[in-house]
Amino acid sequence: MNRRNQSGLAGIDWMVFSLYLSLIGVGWLMIYTVGHGDGYPQSRVDFIFETTVGKQTIFIGVSAVLLLFTIVIDWKFWRTFAYLIYGASILSLILVLIFGKNINGATSWFALPGGFTLQPSEFAKFATCLALAAYLSTYSSSLREFRSQITAILMMLVPMVLIFLQPDAGSAVVFLSFFIVLYREGMPSMPYLFALALGTVFILSLSFEPLSVILGLLLSSLFVLLFNIKRMPIYYWLALLVWGVLSIIAFRMEYEWYSIAANVLLALGLMLYHWNNRQQRISFLVSTALVLGSLQIFATNFAFNNILRPHHQDRINVWLNPEKCDPQGSLYNVLQSKMAIGSGGLMGKGFTNGTMTKLNYVPEQSTDFIFCTIGEEQGFVGSFAIVVLFLLLLLRIVTIAERQRSTFSRQYAYGVAGVLFIHFFINIGMTMNLIPTIGIPLPFISYGGSSLLGFTLMIGVLLKLDSHRYSV
């Protein structure tokens, strides 16, 4: 068969399809073992409709039908109706705020018959992925232009804000993954560097005292200013090293303001030197960074102490300052999660033999913290295998993206990779307290119909577009 005419099942990327099935299979087994300790009802009807594993089985069946639908339907459908699908998802996010069901303090679900629920934010990720790819693939858009940058960012922000209002911060944060698509398609790197700097200062501001962070900012500025002096002798660097050590010693001896004032004066002197030597740009950038950084340090601490709600403060403290948290309160989930993963050792306790899983020590074991079950029962080997499966899937999707002739297909594939990566990274990271606990599912593995259907849509459309890569 001519490769250019391959379509449908003949052109499916079987590696992605196999990885998709493998992850769903692992997820079903882990959901089964989570509920195994509670015992299962004898009635088949009750088993299917009353247990998490029974409901997940239904979700998998519906996902199979949905996957078949995405493969059978014409591949041009997704680009033609991308904006309409996006508009429908925005409307659903508005309606769920009005008519949605409140679960655990968030109005994020539509109630369905039979005790089922539908979470529109999971489908909004797919819809935004489609719409963003459709917009960026038009001839009139160019991410080198400010207008196109703003339009693309607004397409991400609209669903993000609506989801924040539910409130569901975890699902909202996932939409930041689309910046990966924008970077691949030509977005200037300066906004990313600026965001990285803001994030670094934000984390340091909440981890250390404000004056300590300001001292670090000043010493970093001195390094940049000295680095830009042409033909600078080696003893300048030695002098900076000694100066930095003395500044830190003075700061630790409670001469904070003297240390900071001395470094400010030295920084001003070096800025004046650069200004007189026609290096005004360096002086301007460093002075601007110092002023904005110092303002952000105090603004971050003010917002944390006076604006954030106590439970939001607890989530950040659990991550950055666990010593300030109550082990029986806000720190409990993370402690139990890490203990469950660590108790698995190298090979794990065995399938359905997880004691912490059976005794429900870890909350949300079938959804947000399902990786703990994998760690306890399958150990390091099983956990590592799951990470490898996800990495293989991500690498394969990126490979698929780069071989596309259609700009729309390439951008859509990168969008799928970004969403999957953020979910994978955040979910596993939060179980080990590497990042804050914000509560998002592990793709294909966590219990939940909306999540499984949303990711199945993403994979199905990706496979369909890739199978027609020679038709463009």
Residue 7: domain span: 3-187+408-467
Q: CB–CB of 467/75 below 8 Å?
A: yes
Are 203 and 183 found together in one domain?
A: no
Are 274 and 287 found together in one domain?
A: yes
In a domain, 270, yes or no: yes
Q: Which of 279, 307, 335 is a domain's end point?
A: 307
In a domain, 101, yes or no: yes
Q: What is the pLDDT of residue 394?
A: 96
In a domain, 353, yes or no: no
Q: Report how far residue 54's alpha carbon sits from residue 72's, in angstroms, rounded to the nearest whole number.
A: 28
Q: Report how far residue 375's alpha carbon sits from residue 343's, in angstroms, rounded to the nearest whole number.
A: 8
Are 32 and 159 found together in one domain?
A: yes
Are 131 and 204 found together in one domain?
A: no
Are 239 and 134 found together in one domain?
A: no
Task: Using the predicted structure, report yes or no on whether residue 455 has a pLDDT greater than 60.
Answer: yes
In a domain, 362, yes or no: no
Q: Report how far residue 460's alpha carbon sits from residue 67's, in angstroms, rounded to the nearest whole number.
A: 5
Q: Which of 307, 342, 358 is a domain's end point?
A: 307
Looking at residues 40-66, what average pLDDT do you find?
Answer: 79
> Could you report the per-residue pLDDT of 359-392, keeping only the tens digit for each?
777 777 888 889 999 999 999 999 999 999 999 9
Are 165 and 63 found together in one domain?
A: yes
Q: What is the pLDDT of residue 165?
A: 92
> Could you report the per-residue pLDDT of 303-323, keeping only the tens digit for each?
888 888 787 788 888 888 888
Are 164 and 198 found together in one domain?
A: no
Tokens coding 287:
């002075």
Arithmetic mean of pLDDT over the chain: 87
Q: CB–CB of 436/319 below 8 Å?
A: yes
Sign of the C-alpha dihedral computed for residues 110, 112, 117 and 118 taken in this order = negative
Q: Report how far residue 418's alpha carbon sits from residue 424's, in angstroms, rounded to the nearest whole number.
A: 10
* Number of domains composing the chain: 2
Q: Report how far residue 338's alpha carbon sits from residue 346's, in angstroms, rounded to the nearest whole number.
A: 15
> Could you report the per-residue pLDDT of 92-116, keeping only the tens digit for each?
999 999 998 888 778 888 988 777 8
In a domain, 330, yes or no: no
Are 129 and 20 found together in one domain?
A: yes
Q: pTM for this one?
A: 0.87
Tokens coding 297:
């340090």
In a domain, 347, yes or no: no
Most confident of 43-52, 156-165, 220-229: 156-165
Task: Using the predicted structure, report yes or no on whether residue 74 has a pLDDT greater than 70.
Answer: yes
Are 154 and 299 found together in one domain?
A: no
Q: Report how far residue 120's alpha carbon sits from residue 59's, in angstroms, rounded to the nearest whole number.
A: 15
> Could you report the per-residue pLDDT of 133-188, keeping only the tens digit for each?
999 998 888 888 889 999 999 999 999 999 999 988 889 999 999 999 999 988 88
Q: Report how far residue 33's alpha carbon sits from residue 46's, in angstroms, rounded to the nearest whole number.
A: 17
Q: What is the pLDDT of residue 83?
A: 96
Q: Which of 253, 272, 307 is a domain's end point?
A: 307
Backbone region of residue 8 per phi and psi (left: phi > 0; alpha: psi in -120 to 50; beta: other values): left
Are 176 and 211 found together in one domain?
A: no
Are 196 and 209 found together in one domain?
A: yes
Are 155 and 247 found together in one domain?
A: no
Task: Using the predicted structure, report yes or no on whether residue 1 has a pLDDT greater than 50.
Answer: no
In a domain, 382, yes or no: no
Q: Report how far residue 239's alpha carbon sits from residue 235's, in angstroms, rounded to the nearest whole number.
A: 6
In a domain, 370, yes or no: no
